[in-house]
Amino acid sequence: MDSNLIFPPIFHPFFLPSIPKHCSYDISMALKLYGYPRSGSTACVITCLLEKQVEFELIHVDLFSGQHKSPDFLAKHPFGLVPVLEDGEFTIFETRAITEYVCKKYAANGTEDLLCSDDLRRSALVRTWVEVESNYFHPAMSPIIFQSFVAPLQGMSPDRKVIDESLEKLVKVLDIYEARLQETKYLAGESYSLADLHHLPPMFYFLRIEGMQAKIFDQRSRLKAWWEDVSSRAAFKKVVEGMKLEN
């Protein structure tokens, strides 16, 4: 899911990058997030940091000039991807590992325990639904977003066959989500967690594609209600400002 240009970023930086105004620029900040704000994976980490009300410095990595493949950057992330988090002397990459680390280290911060760590079984369900996002949702979703947003800007026509095949897989996954959300308010249980959070950026982009809102929400009322709930959270709304398309 992490972004680079060889395995192209899900979110295209065609729109002028803007660093969210909510980030502090104090160079002495312990937490440094290297990323591309419009990349979904970077957006997930920013959302998590905002939910936990943890201050950080966002350091913009220019994917288009190949900055993520420079020796300096490869020393931080040997796969040359974004995002990477530096917490003092400690460096960590992989989006879902970063958000988990932030939630554990800064457990006392913010208003929500995004790991449901008071109960081991509930916590395991958070991890299950993060795995579900990674193993079922993401492989179906990412080709649709690539074909719809990235391919055209690389001079290619969207491959309708790929989109249609992926959509067929995606709706089956979303049927399972709909059934799940009949039983619980959020994916992992009765409270908002990392499992819901990791869906926010890709869903945001997906729903901007014409016809997709109707396609997935018309017959899935619980999914729609869940989306309206999780996408209206203040932390994500701030991140969306940084992901918005220019006019």
Partner 1 sequence: MVVKVYGTPFTAPKRVLLCLIEKGIEFETVPVDLFKGEHKSPEYLKLQPFGSVPVVIDGDYTLYESRAIIRYYAEKYRHQGTELLGQTIEERGLVEQWLEVEGQSYHPPLYQLVIHIVFNPLIGVPQDEKTIKDCEAKLASVLDIYEERLSKSKYLAGDFFSLADLSHIPFTELLVTKVGKEYMIRDRKHVSAWWDEISSRPSWKKVTEI
Alpha carbon of residue 140 to chain centroid = 15
Question: Contact region for partner 1 (CB under 8 A) — 11-19, 23-31, 160-168, 172-180?
Answer: 172-180
Q: Is 177 in a helix, a strand, or coil?
A: helix
Site for partner 1 in 226-245 (CB under 8 A): none
Minimum distance from CB of 207 to partner 1 (Å)?
A: 23
Beta strands across the sheet bearing 57-60? 57-60, 31-35, 84-87, 90-93
Joined tokens for residue 194? 């990392």
Alpha carbon of residue 233 to chain centroid = 14
Q: Tell me: does residue 93 bind partner 1 (CB under 8 A).
A: yes
Minimum distance from CB of 186 to partner 1 (Å)?
A: 16
Q: Is 70 in a helix, a strand, or coil?
A: coil
Which string of DSSP letters, residue by residue, matches 42-54? HHHHHHHHHHTT-
Minimum distance from CB of 237 to partner 1 (Å)?
A: 27
Distance (Å, whole) CA 242 – CA 240: 5
Minimum distance from CB of 211 to partner 1 (Å)?
A: 26
Minimum distance from CB of 239 to partner 1 (Å)?
A: 21
Question: In residues, how long is the chain?
Answer: 247
Site for partner 1 in 111-140 (CB under 8 A): 120-121, 123-125, 127-128, 130-132, 134-136
Distance (Å, whole) CA 176 – CA 141: 15
Place of tokens 């918005």: 244
x-marked contacts with partner 1 along 178-217 as a string, rule CB under 8 A = -xx-------------------------------------
Q: Tell me: does residue 97 bind partner 1 (CB under 8 A).
A: yes
Binding-site ranges for partner 1 (CB under 8 A): 1-2, 78-79, 90, 92-97, 100-101, 104-105, 120-121, 123-125, 127-128, 130-132, 134-136, 173, 176, 179-180
